[in-house]
Structure formats: C-alpha cells, structure tokens
Amino acid sequence: MRRWLLLGLLPLPLAFASLLLATAESQPLVSRSDSISSTSIADARRLLASNDPRRLRRGDERTALIPVGLIDTTINHFASRSLGGRGAFVVVEQRGEIRLSVPLPGFPGTRYLNVRAVIGEADGRPPITAASVAALPLPAWLAELVAAAVIRAAGVADQWQAAEQAIRRVDFDAGGGNVVVRYVWQPELLEQARSLAVTADDVDNLRAAQAALAGLLDHRAGTAPVPLAQVLLPLLRCCSERSPRYGHAALLVLAAYLSGHSLAHALPEARSWPRARRVRLVLHGRYDSAQHFAVSAALAAWAGEPAANAIGVDKELRDARGGSG
C-alpha cells in the first residue's frame, strides 16, 4: 500500500516543476533597487510616535495611518532579504496590490516568478480578492491557502494570529496615500513583535555580549578616552565560538552602550544583566565617530545595509536641522 502511495505522489514534483516552467518569465514584474529612503525611516518614526505602545492600555481603540510608501519599502526589503527578489505595494482605488518578482534558479538564462495579490477593504483582516502567477490567475481561496501555508512555513503563525485578532477594519486611501488600520491594542502584540525581531538564541547571545562588555570595561578609568578597537575586537572574539550570530549581538550591545540606550526598553530581562561602567570610547579621537560607527554596524548586521544607510541619512538630516555635528 505504501509503495502505491509513493508512486502516486511521484507526479507532484513533476507537476510543480511544470507549473514553474510554464509561469517563469524572462522579465521581472518588479525591477528596483533594495535601497531604503530616509523618507521611509522618517515615516516609520512618525508612525511609532503616534502609536507608542508605552502609552496604550489593553482594549484601547486606535487608528493608524500607515503610508503606502512605507509598506512598499517594507515589502521590498522583505523580498530582497528573504527571497532574493524584489517587491512592491500600490493602492488603486479601494484595493491594495502586492507584487513580487523572485529569480528562479536552474533555468537557462534568468527567469522570474512574478506574483500579484490584490487585497480588498474589509472589517477585520483584509482578504485576498484576486491573485495571479505570471498570466495564470489563481482563485482567491487558493491564494489564501498558499498565503496561510507560507505564514506557517515562515514560523510567524502566532504573530499573524495576534495581529488578526487586533485588527478591526482596514481601508485603502489612495488619495491620502495611506492604508488606514483601525485596531484594538493588546499588550501581546508587543511581545509577538519582539519575538519576531529577537529570538531566544539572540537573547542568550545578547546576555553573553553584555556580560563580556561589562567585564572588558570594568577596569577602565572613566575619564581617559579609550580607542574603540581596544574594546570592539576583544568583544567580538570573546564568545564568537558560541554562535554564528554572536557578532550581531556584540555589535547591538556596543551600539546601545554608545548611544546611551538600555536594551531593557526592548528586552525587560536585560534589567538584571551586568551593567557596563561608563567609559569614553573614541574613534580617531572622537566619541561621535565611535558612536556612529557602532550604530551603523549594528544596523547593517540586524536590518541590512540599505536600512543602515537610510537611517544614517535620516540621522544626518535631523542633526543638520538640530545643529549637531
């Protein structure tokens, strides 16, 4: 019986390969760079400021105006980092449309899988109302099944469910250039967002890096400037054998230290970690150069170089307006 079942399953990979062959296209639907504009970073800052979770209580009803450009940038960043492709988001009338182009390996020349998904306005989570792969239309119900499978495969089913429960209404405002999301705040949303950004292994690495930094600075005098390299290199070497991502953690810990921000704002458990004494770390004799280097390196490690560049430009613009160097 098992043998016949296996024989019956053999055509499935062939059918999938045939589908890819039939829908692969020579030109991408989305062709753009993976850069992130400083405008998107500024939009994200404003969105967070107007929906600050520290000021929200359970059950508070809020309306978030999410710029279409910010969603567009986020989807492209995800497609670039996770799929090696490109993505886009547009609003046409009362509908949103996600577009993806992913290069397919194993084909002669460069071939692309081009996907469209149209999302309609709705109470609760907005449904997929139409979808296509290249010129092949997909039934909406099939697109929903595929989307659910992708969410599960990506390991974000719990986070997606929490967001679904919080959303009350989604509208697309093409004239205003916003996606209007009405939601009910639940503190679990913040915890789910943290779990997406920082895994349990990341927390272990951050704890080790914080302890290592505290140990490296414990004997340093607080007034004399210390070259950044004298701390950065030992910090990176300290626990590098424990995890490939320890270096990411070390850079984030150092960036938080130099910028004066506590990791406890994002990770409550960090309140009990060893505290590093305040020392003046410098790069080429300047504290602000050391700070800029560490923050940029951490952003590049955690969010990717395009995000680091965009945040750096945004900071320079804000510094220029504020008169700082």
Q: Is the pTM of this model over 0.75?
A: no
Lookup result for tokens 């996907």: 115
Tens-place pLDDT, residues 283-294 = 999 998 988 888
Checking if the pLDDT of 56 tops 80, the result is: yes
Q: What is the pLDDT of residue 139?
A: 94
CA-wise closest residue to 242 among 205, 213, 274: 205
* HSE of 83, CA atoms in CB hemisphere, 13 A: 21
pLDDT the model gives residue 67 = 94
Neighbouring residues of 275: CB distance < 8 A, sequence distance ≥ 6: 214
